[in-house]
């Protein structure tokens, strides 16, 4: 057998591609040395958040202090060298450098010495935060304009500092003397924020409830590393942006219900003018009292009665559009939700599961007598107008593409399984088969297929595939076996129109009982390829009601639920303002957050309201990159490089210098 025959065509092509990047044995060896060094570094810090629901200020604050990780870096850097109040002042400078600088500079006649001292302190914190990274990785986190100076200061060792103390002191002194002190302090603060957290994981539900989901999306798009698991509210917006009519109606209904239409109108430039004109005509004289928004905040140019009428109009359109989806998909087995067919306006009642209930509102001027799911011509025009706007809002489309690029239904990372909601299982914990098109899928393959059809809904050029994907996304929003919903039914209709609260119940699926079982969690981890012994399942979706004694840790710590009510509407129920999770090379820490008032108030009072933290797990040995999924990937690259070197040694490939083969 010849040496060349050892390589098949595909392997040889891949090695030829790799040789263009590493054209010599020395170049390949250099990269291997770098990869071996990275494997010996500690793993970076992972930050897990969930169910942001448009609560930008709370979310932004959590990112700025990294769920208390920055305060821990300050403690690690200075120990007893600084008082607690000095550490608090430094922490607030790192969290909100512009605001803290403004306060401090107003109090100082000559801030030169203070700025020199602060730069020196910030550099020390940055150096501590940078210890886990290669110099190359640190360099990538530095802003280009000040990268050279920052790299000199941040990547120095203690020995370097002692030998070159005058050099470093001169750099800092001249930064301030030349008027760059404020800019440098601000930049250093944001560099520290970037270095303290390596990866940010968002477990879904960025949208709805709160007033500024678009600002949350902008913040995520700026972040150095983010991965997202889609939640049911995200899927609703994604389906709407793809042109799914029922989900467009749903997005608008929720915005009107919670009185936060700013995301629609100001954030994404979606006009409700045609909907308003239709509602004022079709529901003229109707107070629509059941549809007055929950929030008492200002509604800009709309009166509360106009909001209520729009809310009612889009809600009834949504029920019609949902009925059309149910008719298209008998496999959904949701005929019990065809509630429009049970309405009898003559008696003012609606039949639900064979029982007639009085309707709280009997003014339905657009409800047909034969086909209850049919939109009127005017309603069709409203939906067509909204569909066009959703599909042509540049900012919305950019945000949704980001969700598709950096999001998925589930992910297994370093042995942990992350997904937003639940899994369709029976009472014994067996995965239930769910029909999607002509397939019946369960467990991991079900979630993977849902992810595929969600992408088809947005990207496919086939109208039928797009329609099927949009319908599947609606099922993900509210279907009884949806892994993003997890309840037997969504009682939106009953909550609006039926007074009897027994009809409002939305029974949870078996998953929510089984997640307390360690054996069940181990079974799920095994099915998804997680680490059964050391891994965790991390969920959001269901707010943990601390007031009722609920705990985010279940199944002896195998299950972590980190939805603690970041958005204000949830906080009276949960008793906190969100749970987050921090995982580093030493430990796994759960953080419980208080409601954030404002940065100005925090700085004025001089109090760093760090979250209450609870250590969930301490690792017996520090976790190195070699023990992570990244380490496995790097070892694969090392194998490829060794194959490349062998090919050079065997004469199968020729080293090149300056673009020319070495032998010529």
3-state helix, strand, coil in the chain (%, to 5): 55, 10, 35
Q: What are the Cα distances from residue 248, in Å, to 233, 237, 327, 588?
A: 12, 7, 19, 39
- What whole-number distance in Å separates Cα of residue 43 and Cα of residue 443? 30
Q: Is the pLDDT of residue 4 over 70?
A: no
Looking at 475-479, 530-534, 548-552, which range is the least confident one?
A: 548-552
Cβ atoms of 311 and 300 within 8 Å: the answer is no
Q: Is the dihedral of CA 299, 305, 308, 310 positive or negative?
A: negative
Helix H or strand E segment including 141 = helix 135-141
Alpha-helical regions (H) of 208-367:
213-222, 232-241, 245-257, 262, 273-282, 304-328
pLDDT tens digits for range 484-524: 999 999 999 999 999 999 999 999 999 999 999 999 999 99
For residue 378, what pLDDT is reported? 97
For residue 597, what pLDDT is reported? 80
For residue 343, what pLDDT is reported? 96
For residue 249, what pLDDT is reported? 98
For residue 164, what pLDDT is reported? 73
- What whole-number distance in Å separates Cα of residue 85 and Cα of residue 108? 19
Q: Is the pLDDT of residue 425 over 90?
A: yes
- What whole-number distance in Å separates Cα of residue 22 and Cα of residue 503? 67
pLDDT tens digits for range 237-249: 999 999 999 999 9
Q: What is the number of residues in the chain? A: 664
**Which of these, 385, 371, 417, 376, lies nearest to 203 by C-alpha position?**
417
Rounded mean pLDDT, 169-175:
88
For residue 612, what pLDDT is reported? 85
For residue 119, what pLDDT is reported? 93
For residue 439, what pLDDT is reported? 92
**Which of these, 605, 614, 547, 549, lies nearest to 575 by C-alpha position?**
547
Rounded mean pLDDT, 447-470:
97
For residue 603, what pLDDT is reported? 86
Between the two ends of the chain, the Cα-to-Cα distance in Å is 28
For residue 564, what pLDDT is reported? 67
pLDDT tens digits for range 319-343: 999 999 999 999 999 999 999 999 9
Alpha-helical regions (H) of 197-244:
213-222, 232-241
Residue entry with tokens 């099922």: 475
pLDDT tens digits for range 356-378: 999 999 999 999 888 999 999 99
For residue 613, what pLDDT is reported? 86
For residue 446, what pLDDT is reported? 97
Q: Is the pLDDT of residue 1 over 70?
A: no
- What whole-number distance in Å separates Cα of residue 379 and Cα of residue 317? 7
For residue 157, what pLDDT is reported? 63
pLDDT tens digits for range 44-99: 999 999 999 999 999 999 999 999 999 999 999 999 999 999 999 999 999 999 99
**Which of these, 489, 490, 485, lies nearest to 473 by C-alpha position?**
485
pLDDT tens digits for range 618-638: 999 999 999 999 999 999 999
**Which of these, 558, 140, 636, 627, lies nearest to 413 by C-alpha position?**
627
What is the pLDDT confidence band of residue 592, given thresholds at 50, 70 and 90? confident
For residue 664, what pLDDT is reported? 36
Cβ atoms < 10 Å from Cβ of 198: 20
Q: Is the pLDDT of residue 255 over 50?
A: yes
pLDDT tens digits for range 598-621: 888 888 888 887 788 889 899 999
What are the tokens at 405? 């690029």
- What whole-number distance in Å separates Cα of residue 442 and Cα of residue 485? 16
């Amino acid at each position: 057998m010849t040496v060349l025959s050892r390589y098949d065509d595909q392997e040889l092509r891949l090695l030829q591609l790799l040789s263009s990047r590493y054209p010599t044995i020395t170049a390949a060896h250099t990269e291997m040395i770098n990869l071996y060094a990275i494997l010996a570094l500690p793993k970076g810090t992972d930050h897990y958040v969930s169910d942001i629901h448009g609560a930008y200020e709370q979310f932004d604050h959590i990112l700025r202090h990294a769920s208390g990780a920055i305060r821990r870096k300050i403690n690690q850097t200075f120990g007893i060298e600084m008082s607690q109040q000095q550490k608090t002042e430094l922490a607030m400078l790192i969290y909100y450098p512009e605001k803290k600088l403004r306060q401090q500079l107003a109090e100082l006649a000559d801030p030169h010495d203070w700025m020199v001292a602060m730069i020196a302190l910030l550099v020390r914190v940055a150096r501590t935060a940078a210890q886990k990274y290669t110099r190359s990785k640190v360099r990538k986190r530095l802003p280009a304009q000040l990268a050279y100076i920052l790299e000199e200061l941040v990547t120095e060792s203690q020995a370097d500092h002692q030998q070159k103390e005058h050099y470093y002191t001169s750099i800092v002194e001249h930064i301030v003397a030349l008027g760059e002190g404020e800019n440098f302090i601000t930049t250093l603060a944001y560099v520290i924020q970037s270095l303290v957290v390596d990866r940010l994981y968002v477990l879904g539900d960025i949208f709805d409830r709160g007033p500024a989901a678009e600002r949350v999306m902008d913040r995520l798009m700026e972040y150095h590393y983010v991965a997202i698991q889609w939640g049911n509210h995200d899927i609703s917006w994604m389906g709407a942006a793809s042109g799914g009519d029922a989900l467009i109606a749903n997005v608008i209904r929720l915005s009107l219900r919670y009185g936060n239409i700013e995301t629609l109108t100001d954030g994404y430039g979606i006009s409700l003018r045609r909907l308003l004109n239709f509602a004022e005509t079709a529901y003229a004289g109707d107070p629509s009292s059941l549809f007055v928004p929950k929030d008492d905040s200002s509604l800009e140019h709309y009166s509360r009665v106009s909001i209520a009428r729009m809310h009612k109009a889009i809600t009834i359109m949504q029920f019609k559009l949902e009925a059309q989806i149910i008719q298209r998909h008998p496999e959904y087995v949701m005929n019990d939700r065809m509630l429009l067919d049970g309405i009898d306006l003559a008696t003012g009642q609606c039949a639900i599961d064979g029982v007639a209930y009085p309707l709280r509102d009997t003014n339905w001027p657009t409800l047909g007598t034969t086909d209850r799911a049919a939109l009127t011509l005017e309603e069709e025009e409203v939906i067509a107008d909204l569909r066009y706007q959703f599909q042509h809002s540049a900012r919305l489309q950019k945000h949704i593409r980001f969700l598709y690029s950096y999001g998925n239904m589930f992910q297994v990372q370093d042995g942990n399984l992350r997904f937003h909601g639940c899994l369709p299982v029976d009472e014994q914990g067996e995965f239930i088969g769910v029909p999607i098109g002509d397939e019946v899928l369960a467990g991991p393959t079900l979630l993977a297929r849902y992810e595929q059809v969600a992408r088809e809904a947005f990207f496919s050029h086939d109208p039928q595939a797009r329609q099927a994907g949009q319908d599947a996304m609606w099922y993900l929003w509210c279907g009884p076996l949806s892994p993003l919903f997890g309840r037997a039914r969504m009682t939106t209709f009953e909550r609006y129109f039926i007074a009897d609260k027994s009809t409002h119940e939305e029974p949870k699926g078996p998953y929510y009982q089984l997640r307390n079982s360690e054996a069940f969690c181990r079974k799920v981890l095994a099915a998804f390829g997680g680490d059964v012994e050391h891994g965790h399942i991390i969920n959001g979706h269901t707010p943990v009601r601390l007031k009722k004694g609920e705990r985010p840790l279940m199944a002896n710590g195998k299950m972590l639920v980190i939805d603690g009510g970041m958005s204000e509407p949830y906080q009276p129920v949960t008793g906190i303002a969100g749970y987050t999770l921090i995982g580093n090379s030493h430990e796994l820490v759960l953080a419980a957050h208080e409601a954030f008032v404002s940065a100005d108030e925090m700085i004025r009072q001089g109090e760093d309201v760090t979250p209450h933290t609870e250590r969930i797990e301490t690792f017996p040995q520090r976790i190195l990159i070699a023990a992570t999924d990244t380490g496995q990937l790097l070892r694969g690259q090392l194998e490829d490089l060794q194959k490349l070197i062998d090919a050079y040694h065997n004469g199968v490939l020729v080293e090149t210098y300056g673009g020319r083969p070495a032998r010529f």
